Amino acid sequence: DAGVIQSPRHEVTEMGQEVTLRCKPISGHDYLFWYRQTMMRGLELLIYFNNNVPIDDSGMPEDRFSAKMPNASFSTLKIQPSEPRDSAVYFCASSPTNYGYTFGSGTRLTVV
Amino acid sequence: DAKTTQPPSMDCAEGRAANLPCNHSTISGNEYVYWYRQIHSQGPQYIIHGLKNNETNEMASLIITEDRKSSTLILPHATLRDTAVYYCIVRVHGGSNYKLTFGKGTLLTVNP
């Protein structure tokens, strides 16, 4: 089991550019979560899916952020246009029902 | 809307037991206590969870008080690799809310 796989590991982009972060959850996990971590705000839940359907996106900061899960093995988090304040580490996690999450290694995003 | 209270930091000598406390005085009857840790620059890692009985696995033991208002995570023989931020979280099972909300956690430093 390769765990939750995120790509890229690091992303540096210029303000105004579109950024796409990718996540492959663990096979068989029903739930997928996107978190963002900054020094100021800690770990924040952005959105989560159950069986590929978005359940709660109340943590998505603005309309510039969007997330999709076209199938059980792939999810994307897109930021368009990106801003310097979006700089953070973005984590994807997956979970079976009523159990602990498995987090990926994260994508460190820097917007300059 | 933090539902748990943890000390911001603790120290422990290598080889000794590390006992990390958590207060959750407003916990509901259907909420479980979860513990995660985050080693620097990595994604959070699930450790253990429980409802009211004490639990033990290969990583740690979880002791929950009879009134369920507090718990203690025990790392029986701490090593330098256990230096991390430890998060105590309460979470329901069942229903539609599968969110994990992370607080600030406890920075455990294991000293040689």
- Chain A: residue whose CA lies nearest to B34: A100
* Contact flag A42-B46 (C-beta cutoff 8 Å): no
Alpha-carbon span B6 to B92, nearest angstrom: 20
* CA distance readout (Å), A12 to A6, A7, A35, A77, A108: 16, 13, 19, 16, 8
Q: Is the pLDDT of residue A14 over 60?
A: yes
pLDDT tens column, A34-89 = 999 999 999 999 999 999 999 999 999 889 999 999 999 999 999 999 999 999 99
- Residue B97: pLDDT over 70: no
Grouping H, G, I as helix, E, B as strand and the rest as coil, residue A85 is helix
CA distance A104 to chain B (A): 6
Per-residue model confidence as pLDDT tens digits over B65-89: 999 999 999 999 999 999 999 999 9
Of the residues A4, A5, A43, the best mutation for testing chain B's interface (the one with the most B CB atoms within 10 Å of its CB) is A43
The pLDDT > 70 percentage for chain A reads 98
- CA dihedral angle for residue A50, residue A53, residue A59, residue A65, rounded to 10 degrees: 140
List the single residue in B47, B98, B102 with the smallest CB-CB distance to A43. B102
> In a mutagenesis test of the A interface, which of B6, B34, B46 is the best target, namely the one with the most A β-carbons within 10 Å?
B46
Structure tokens given for A65: 């952020």
Tell me whether residues B103 and A42 touch, CB distance under 8 A. Answer: yes
Q: Hey, are the CB atoms on B98 and A95 less than 8 Å from each other? A: yes
Q: How many residues are listed for chain B in this entry?
A: 112
What whole-number distance in Å separates Cα of residue A58 and Cα of residue B11?
37
Name the residue among A108, A107, A97, A90 with its Cα closest to residue A47.
A90
Nearest residue to A9 via CA among A19, A22, A18, A25: A22
Q: Answer yes or no: do B104 and A42 touch at CB < 8 A.
A: yes
Q: First vs last Cα of chain B: how many Å apart? A: 36
Using a CB-CB cut-off of 8 Å, the residues of chain A touching B94 are 98
**How much of chain B exceeds pLDDT 70, in percent?**
95
The pLDDT confidence band at residue B8, using thresholds 50, 70 and 90, is very high
> With contact defined as beta carbons under 8 Å apart, do B89 and B36 qualify?
yes
Q: Sorting pLDDT into bands at 50, 70 and 90, what band is B27? A: very high
The rounded radius of gyration (Å) of the Cα atoms in chain B is 13
Taking residues B46-65, report their average pLDDT: 95
Cβ distance of B98 and A104 shorter than 8 Å: no
d(CA A18, CA A28): 30
